[in-house]
Chain A
Amino acid sequence: MDGGTIPYLPEALKKKKENEMNWVKLDPEVKCFLPGVPRATYLPYPLQIVQGADNIVIAYEYQNAIRVINMKAPTKAPADTWMGWSNGHWEGDTLVVDVTSQNDNTWFDHSGNFHSDALHVVERYTPRSADTLNYEATIEDPKTFSKPWKISMPLYRRVEKDARLLEYRCPEMAEELLWGHMAKKTVDQQPGK
């Protein structure tokens, strides 16, 4: 984050603290739910940008998440979604992406930082060298924060030969946590026997 602390409104700050206390139960990422934007960018899994003429795809290794950034005239989201609705345009060398219509079910991190469905994110991807990008995201949400705030970080291109995204379809990792308690008990596990 660029400077200081996240400017929560007082009620929202209370909720953030409650989230933090219970993050294993409450963080949607633990359940392998789609992470939203910008969290998808800074999860510890690679992403791949496929730059087409009319659309730019960002594919995330995490849960095979995907965004299609519309590079033609901006369009409106048909509905709220987990990954939001992305319209992009160029400002010089910078890809600017306006992300709206994210639902309120995602968090920013494991620390319980959250948002409402009024979230509006503007991302900027700027090449800073042949193999790095500078990524910035401005986050505003008048139902949760008193003013907009910004994060920034470098994105490093994976330069090893044949770098590629692998599969991380994580429902398989989360399902024991979610449904393990509902498995059939073996004879050994039945109470009283």
Chain B
Amino acid sequence: MHHRKIVFSCVFAASAAILLVAQVPAVGQQTAPAKKAWTPGRTPDGDPDIAGVYDARTATPVERPKELGAKEFYTDQEFKEVSDRLHRKDPTAPGASAGVFGEGGGDNRRVQYDKDVFGFDVFLSNYVATKRTSLVVGPEGKIPPMLPEARERNATRNAYNRAHETDRVQNQNLETRCILSNRQLIPLFPIEDSNTHLQIVQGKGYVAIYQELNHDVRVIPTDGRPHLAKEIRQYQGDSVGHWEGNTLVVDTTNFTDQTAFRGSSENMHLVERYTKVSPDMLLYRFTVEDPKTWDKPWTVEVPWMTAKGPLYEYACTEGNESLGLILGAARVKEAEAAKSAK
């Protein structure tokens, strides 16, 4: 029985490849609805094929620039103009100024790198091919304000962290401890200065999403099974998926209070939607809600462009000297302060 299935898979993979139809609108051309919507081929197990290597990097800002008001999409001409400004390194181009971090916890300290060397220069990036003016969708184009209880919760946490940051290793943030980097945290948000490569591999009944940064892999069941008991909490929550037409819908709950995405609580509820819309692009869309943090849900859309693999191993904890240096420096400072106090 196994033998038969293996042979069948090999044959089916070849025919699935032939079914793909290329219909990519070039950037700058009119993107009126195509005469016939492109649909992905099928995997050997019969699911929509969203496998591949992707790069989610973009220069498009999270929130819409104020002067654009409720305008969700650039026209082709506007898109070309704003892209030119970006590529000419105009510091007033949308998204070009430092910082995509909003209020809330979990954000890493910024470190100054020579961005050209590391390839993280925002001016070398592109605005999203969908021509959206911001990653947050909708007329407001921004993350809803934080509820007062959430502001207070985060302020207390941040104050404690600042005061006790170097007391012990557990007080450092998850990224410095190599437990979970900001880039790995779901929902996946393009973060400046960060590795945005990922790979999707689909098997029977499961989709594996492998992020290069810190070798993070989520193996998501697609049978719509119930979540883990609410007493079981994981840093990345518990993800359960199902297919709706050509879209993989992934529902995640059971977070801890340690990741605090944009200042949220352990009650955050995340729904992600993955739809491949052309051979070159997968649309990643997510909605977060957390009644303890925001008064309404908010939605982000980021196109992931297909990229050349393979993914490289990212061994974080294996090379993590920084913890010793951070704690060591703090202890030296304290010893010096104690000496001079005598």
Contacts and interface: CB of A to CB of B under 8 A. Distances in A.
B318 A182 contact: no
Contacts of B336: none
A167 B235 contact: yes
Interface stretch (B126-134, B214-222, B290-298): B214-222
Contacts of B226: 162
Nearest to A162: B225
B204 interface: yes
A159 interface: no
B317 A171 contact: yes
Nearest to B233: A167
Contacts of B16: 53
B6 interface: yes
Contact of A64 (B6, B217, B225, B232): B217
A51 interface: yes
A175 B210 CA distance: 25
Nearest to A60: B217
Consensus secondary structure, chain B interface: mixed
Given A93-B3, A166-B234, A184-B334, A175 B323 contact: yes
B169 A183 contact: yes
Given A49-B203, A57-B217, A175 B330 contact: no
Interface in B306-332: 310-313, 315, 317-318, 320, 323-324, 327-328, 330-331
B234 A55 contact: no
Contacts of B328: 182
Nearest to B226: A162
A33 B3 CA distance: 36
Q: Which of B169, B170, B202 has the most CB of A within 10 A?
A: B169
Contact of A171 (B3, B166, B179, B236): B179
A118 interface: no
A35 B195 CA distance: 23
B169 A64 contact: no
B1 interface: yes
B208 A57 contact: yes
Contacts of A105: 318
Given A56-B201, A179-B323, A82 B210 contact: no
A78 B313 CA distance: 10
B210 A66 contact: yes
Interface string A180-192: 1011100000000
A70 interface: yes
B217 A51 contact: no
A75 interface: yes
8 contacts: A33-B315, A34-B215, A57-B203, A63-B317, A90-B10, A175-B169, A183-B169, A184-B330
Given A57-B219, A82-B313, A175-B170, 16 more contacts: A32-B317, A34-B313, A54-B51, A56-B201, A59-B219, A68-B199, A78-B310, A90-B6, A90-B10, A167-B234, A171-B177, A172-B179, A176-B170, A178-B169, A182-B327, A183-B169
